[in-house]
């Protein structure tokens, strides 16, 4: 662990949360919503993208008032894009 400049204990006990879509609130991207474009989305569930050839990339499901408003997939090259 010397090459990482961190102790083995710190390496195995430290945790950095991966947030591919950053911190909320996020802008609403649902054109049919009254609050379109406003930072009203406070909940995002990040899961694995299970579609063909995209397995392993994060997929964000954005909720407002317990309703799914839109889904974004994350790509290292394209950055986040809206799926639905």
The pair of structure tokens assigned to 79 is: 């950055």
Q: What is the mean pLDDT of residues 6-19?
A: 80
Chain center to CA of 62: 9
Contacts of residue 39, Cβ cutoff 8 Å, sequence gap at least 6: 24, 25, 26, 27, 28
The pLDDT of residue 2 is above 60: yes
Q: What is the pLDDT of residue 68?
A: 61
Q: Which of 1-5, 16-20, 61-65 has the lowest mean pLDDT?
A: 1-5
> In which band, very low, low, confident or very high, does the pLDDT at 69 lie, cut at 50, 70 and 90?
low
Q: Could you tell me the pTM of the whole model?
A: 0.58
Q: Please provide the average confidence, as pLDDT, over all residues in the chain.
A: 75
Q: What is the mean pLDDT of residues 5-10?
A: 81
Quick one: which of 41, 3, 49 has its CA closest to 23?
A: 41
Q: Which of 6-10, 30-34, 45-49, 79-83 has the lowest mean pLDDT?
A: 79-83
């Amino acid at each position: 662990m010397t090459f990482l400049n961190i102790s083995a204990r710190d390496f195995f006990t430290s945790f950095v949360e991966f947030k591919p879509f950053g911190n909320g609130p996020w802008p609403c991207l649902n054109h049919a919503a009254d609050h379109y474009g406003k930072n009203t989305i406070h909940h995002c569930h990040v899961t694995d993208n299970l579609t063909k050839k995209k397995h392993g990339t994060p997929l964000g499901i954005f909720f407002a008032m317990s309703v799914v408003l839109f889904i974004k997939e994350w790509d290292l090259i394209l950055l986040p894009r809206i799926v639905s």
